[in-house]
Amino acid sequence: MTEADVDAVAAELRQRLAERLTAAGWLLSPAWRDAVEAVPRHEFAPRFYVESDAPGLTTWAPVTPELVGVHEWLRQVYDDETLITQFDSREIDWADPQPISNAHPTSSSTLPSLVVRMLEDLQVEDDHTVTEYGTGTGYSTALLCHRLGDERVLSIETDARVAARARAALVRCGYRPRLYIGDGLTGAPGSTRAHRTIATMGVRSIPPAWVEQTHPGGLIVATLRGWMRSLGLVRLTVEDNGTAHGRFLSSDPSFMIARQQEAPESLGMLPAPDGGNTRRTSYGPELLAMPDSGFVAQLTMPNARYFSMLADDGTVSTYVLDATNDAFAVLTPNGEGWTVRQGGPALLWDDVEQALALWHAADSPAPSEFGVSVAPDAQRVWLGTPDGPSWRLPA
Ligand SMILES: C[S@@+](CC[C@H](N)C(=O)[O-])C[C@H]1O[C@@H](n2cnc3c(N)ncnc32)[C@H](O)[C@@H]1O
């Protein structure tokens, strides 16, 4: 295939992608549709990994034009899929790419439906400036440049090699936004202020610098996440007193967490077999994995993670551990129900049960009924209204 053939096929696939994203209700405005049809995603993801369907351990398979053929490579580039470009903050050996498992994606070109959805949620106008955190491959940066012009876009990436690749791809496609390498959790360099702030990496709470560096009346679109799961996509309006408020738009989207906020490697200390106090509970560990109750549990235990372990007597217990303070809750099946053994400085399962009681009393609302308030001294997720029940986000 000549370069011209690749361009022609890619243009057609982009058009089809735009049609699919429009039909699915993600792509709403002609301006963003125009950007999706124009920006060549294959320049930003010339080789990548995709999750394979094989059962068992999550495995990713490499995709390059040489491995799968140019047509199939382009087809996958213009699928509504996340294209992984880095694992465990290490460079991929593209000289001999092998399937990868037991690894943790650390950079990617995000799912196009999620990218355009967030861009639509950002409600940009032609004269707006945008700061983006998490340049990644540069694909979303290119969409922003196409929509607003290079001089209105600033993008920040923590990984120098990832940033260098993004810069090269952007230049190849004729885009020259301001790009910075650095930890976006500390904000953009200098006294930059943008009308809109968007983050394509997950954060445990909104970095105060993002509020300071967004014009009053401006919007921040980002995903909040914890160490157990994503909390979801929020859109906050920045006030002129250094605070920001808004609601969850959805709890589905999940982004890789900011590198500086990764959970500690150790899950925490296993509690002594006779530690803590035991009581019955009507809630088993399944609530942690369920969409809405899992959201509530994540809010209640921001530092906890869990795993299951088979005991010598054949019972499988679930250990919920807070690695930051050694609080624990161990859930064990007991007849029709469960027992929980808790100990340490916080009673994790008591807190989850109290939060679930409040949630049930409010008719078990979806995460979109929750909102977020960000102030310089504290950040809270609230239920219903800002003065409803609330939970602090980790600082
Ligand atoms: C999901 S990818 C971004 C996808 C990108 N917007 C695209 O369209 O290709 C998330 C990126 O955030 C970057 N990142 C992680 N922590 C960061 C931080 N503290 N500051 C800036 N970038 C960060 C990662 O290195 C990764 O490249």
250 contacts 263 by C-beta, under 8 angstroms: no
80 contacts 44 by C-beta, under 8 angstroms: no
Same domain, 148 and 59: yes
Whose alpha carbon is nearest atom 14 of ligand 1?
A: 134
Q: Is the distance from the beta carbon of residue 254 to the nearest atom of ligand 1 less than 6 Å?
A: no
6-10, 153-157, 323-327, 349-353: segment of lowest average pLDDT: 323-327
Task: Kindly state the tokens that stand for 31.
Answer: 């301006």
Task: Kindly state the tokens that stand for 215.
Answer: 């014009």
Of 135, 180, 185, which is best to mutate to test ligand 1, by the most ligand atoms within 8 angstroms of its C-beta?
135
Task: Kindly state the tokens that stand for 360.
Answer: 């049930």
Please report whether residue 378 resides in a domain. no
Distance CA 210, CA 197 (A): 7
Residue 168: CATH number of its domain: 3.40.50.150
The position carrying tokens 């590198």 is 259
Q: Is the distance from the beta carbon of residue 183 to the nearest atom of ligand 1 less than 6 Å?
A: yes
Distance CA 110, CA 116 (A): 10
**Dihedral pair phi/psi, residue 132, rounded to 5°:** -115, 135
Q: Is the distance from the beta carbon of residue 136 to the nearest atom of ligand 1 less than 6 Å?
A: yes
Domains identified in the chain, total number: 2
In which domain, by residue range, is 331 found?
277-359
Read off the pLDDT of residues 171-200 as tens digits, 9 standing for 90 and up. Answer: 999 999 999 999 999 999 987 899 999 999
Q: Is the pLDDT of residue 156 over 90?
A: yes
Residue 18 CA to its chain's centroid (Å): 23
What confidence tier does 336 reach under pLDDT thresholds 50, 70, 90? confident
Longest dimension (CA), the chain: 70
Catalytic residues: 107
267: which residues sit within 8 A by CB, 6+ positions away?
305, 307, 319, 321, 323
Whether the CA torsion 33, 39, 40, 43 is positive or negative: it is: negative
Helices (H) and strands (E) in the chain, counts: 12, 20
Instruction: Quote the pLDDT of residue 323.
Output: 84
Distance CA 234, CA 217 (A): 16
What integer is the mean pLDDT of 232-261?
92
Q: Is the distance from the beta carbon of residue 200 to the nearest atom of ligand 1 less than 6 Å?
A: yes
Q: Average model confidence (pLDDT) for the chain?
A: 94
Q: Is the pLDDT of residue 253 over 80?
A: no
Please report whether residue 272 resides in a domain. no
Please report whether residue 233 resides in a domain. yes
Instruction: Quote the pLDDT of residue 60.
Output: 95
Same domain, 24 and 151: yes
Read off the pLDDT of residues 46-103 as tens digits, 9 standing for 90 and up. Answer: 999 999 877 778 899 999 999 999 999 999 999 999 999 999 999 999 999 999 998 9
274 SS3 class: coil
11-15, 156-160, 333-337: segment of lowest average pLDDT: 333-337
Please report whether residue 376 resides in a domain. no
Read off the pLDDT of residues 309-320 as tens digits, 9 standing for 90 and up. Answer: 998 888 899 999
281 C-alpha to center of ligand 1: Å? 40
Q: Is the pLDDT of residue 252 over 80?
A: no
Please report whether residue 82 resides in a domain. no
Residues in the chain: 395
Please report whether residue 205 resides in a domain. yes
Same domain, 211 and 305: no
Whose alpha carbon is nearest atom 13 of ligand 1?
A: 134
Same domain, 122 and 233: yes
pLDDT above 90: percentage of residues in the chain: 86
What integer is the mean pLDDT of 130-138?
98
